[in-house]
Structure 1
Amino acid sequence: MGWLSAGDGYEVALVEGRVAARATAGRAAGRQLKSLPKAVREHPEVDRLRRLAEWLDRHAAACVTQVDTWMVSSLPVPTGLLARVWPDEAWQSALRDLVVVGEDPQEPGFLRDATDGGELRLVNLDGETVRLSPATVTLPHPVLLPDLEDLREFAAELGVTQRVEQIHRATWLRPEGLAEKATEVREFAGGSYDSRFALAARATALGYRVSGGYASCRVRDAGRGVEASVWIGEPYWDGDTETGALSWSDENGRTLRAVEVGPVAWSEGMRMAAALHAGRTVEEGRTA
């Protein structure tokens, strides 16, 4: 976006997400000022740019949320859709360098470009640029990536930074030997909070849904919807509380046995439970 006139002697523009001003006359002509002069702070163009900046921030956050949803649930995404949104800087920032898989699940690569013709350009583990144009691709959840450690090492070599947490996302594998009838996990139960409000606020800040006495997250695992839930206390309780057990349910609300829970739902449920437990109150003098 270019510079816009904002009254006598000044122009304004969005620079790195904030409104900036520069003088158009005098010794400082053409130079960007360190702060907005008082004379232009209430100018209509400045107000318009501020509202545009707020919209761009919301748009960027929405792009990240959508891409995270695709990744967490390993949903097939039309290649043509990625090509259409790629010119948008917010979409490109959310998508760039995510691991993408086409028709061959054994050939992942880091997404580097998408052309107008619907072709994706990836860098594979051999360091080669490959071109893909299948009808759909997936952005796999890391627990489903067989070469996860290799991808992490290669990403470090390339200096890859992912806007959407994928290859460095904390993952948990469902352990062997679970009791056949077990329906909950208590590994991260017992995390103390001074109030139920504080625990609910942490869950909300982390992006989890709070409803009734539970914090929850929904994913699609192997084509079915699954909701992972952690008990956080009665909604109107104003005393101290603790994180409770983690459990899973299907789209019909049926509680799943632990052995029925798929790898993505298990990992995301454990990730949520661990994050809530990590925010607990730790007594002074005791180890965290």
Structure 2
Amino acid sequence: MGWLSAGEGYEVALVEGRVTARSTSGRAAGRQLKTLPKGVKAHPEVDRLRKLAEWLDRHATECVARVDSWMVSSLPVPTGLLGRVWPDEAWQAGLRDMVVMGAGPDEVGFLRDADGSGELRVVDPDGETVRLSPETVTLPHPVLLPDLDDLREFAAELGLTQGVEQIDRATWRKPADLAEKASSVSDFAGGTYDSRFGLAARATSLGYRVSGGYATCRIREAGAITEASVWIGEPYWYGESETGDLSWSVVDGRSLRLPEVGPVAWSEGMRMAAALYAGRTVEQGENT
């Protein structure tokens, strides 16, 4: 976006997400000003640019959230769609350097570009830049990537930075020796907070939903929706509170036994429980 007239002697524009003014006359003509002059602050163009900046911030947040949902769910995404949204910088910020997987295990790499024809340019694990044009790709959840450690090392070597936490996402592998009838995990139970309000606030600040006495997150996996839940205390309890057990259920409310929980739902549930436990009140001398 170019510079817009904002009254006699000034122009305004969005510069790095902030409304900025510059003088159009005198010795300072063309020089950007550190602050908006008093006479410019109330100009309609300034108000319009501020609203645009707010919309752009919301749009960027929504794009990253959408890419995150594709990744957590490992949903197939049409390559044509990636090509159409790629010119948008907000979408690029969420998609660039994400690990994508095409039709087979050999079609995998870090996404670097996408064009309108549905062709993707990726850097494969051998460091080669290749072009892929499958009908759809997935952005796999990291717990599903067999060579996750190698991908992390390779990304570090290339200096790649992901806008959506994928390969550096904390993951938990589901144990193979779970008791057949076990239905909950207590690894992160007992994390004490000064109040239930503080525990609920941490949950919401991390993006989790608080419903009744639980912090929850929903995971779409293999065509089904699983909800992971951690007990955080009665809604109107004002005293000290602590994290409870972690359990999983399907959307109709049926509780799942631990062997029934999918690998992504297991990892995301443990990630939520660990994050809530990490915010506990730590007594002096207690290991964190």
TM-score bucket of the superposed structures, by smaller chain: over 0.9
Give 2:181's aligned residue.
181
Give 1:212's aligned residue.
212
Q: Aligned runs of 1:97-246 on 2, under 5 Å?
A: 97-246=97-246
Deviation at 1:278, TM superposition (A): 0.4
In structure 1, C-alpha distance between the alignment counterparts of 2:286 and 2:260, rounded to whole Å? 37
For the 8 Å contact 2:4–2:12, the answer to whether it is kept is: yes
RMSD of aligned Cα (Å): 1.0
Give 1:281's aligned residue.
281
1:74 pairs with 2:78: no
Give 2:64's aligned residue.
64
The residue matched to 1:39 in structure 2 has which SS? Answer: helix
Please, which runs of 5 or more residues in structure 1 have no aligned partner?
A: none
In structure 2, C-alpha distance between the alignment counterparts of 1:19 and 1:139, rounded to whole Å? 36
Give the aligned length.
288
Describe the superposition over 1:220-244 as per-residue Cα deviations: whole angstroms up to 9, x where unpaired.
1222211100001001111110000
Q: Aligned runs of 1:251-270 on 2, under 5 Å?
A: 251-270=251-270
In structure 2, C-alpha distance between the alignment counterparts of 1:102 and 1:224, rounded to whole Å? 22
Q: Aligned runs of 1:87-98 on 2, under 5 Å?
A: 87-98=87-98
Give 2:12's aligned residue.
12
In structure 2, C-alpha distance between the alignment counterparts of 1:100 and 1:223, rounded to whole Å? 19
For the 8 Å contact 2:107–2:132, the answer to whether it is kept is: no
The residue matched to 2:90 in structure 1 has which SS? Answer: helix
Alpha-carbon distance change, 136 to 33 in structure 1, aligned in 2, over 3 angstroms = same
Deviation at 1:106, TM superposition (A): 4.1
The residue matched to 2:207 in structure 1 has which SS? Answer: coil
Give 1:271's aligned residue.
271
Deviation at 1:252, TM superposition (A): 2.0
Deviation at 1:251, TM superposition (A): 2.6
Give 1:83's aligned residue.
83
In structure 1, C-alpha distance between the alignment counterparts of 2:209 and 2:75, rounded to whole Å? 21
Deviation at 1:42, TM superposition (A): 1.1
The residue matched to 1:40 in structure 2 has which SS? Answer: helix
Deviation at 1:107, TM superposition (A): 3.4
In structure 2, C-alpha distance between the alignment counterparts of 1:241 and 1:94, rounded to whole Å? 36
Describe the superposition over 1:53-93 as per-residue Cα deviations: whole angstroms up to 9, x where unpaired.
00000000000111100000101111111111111110111
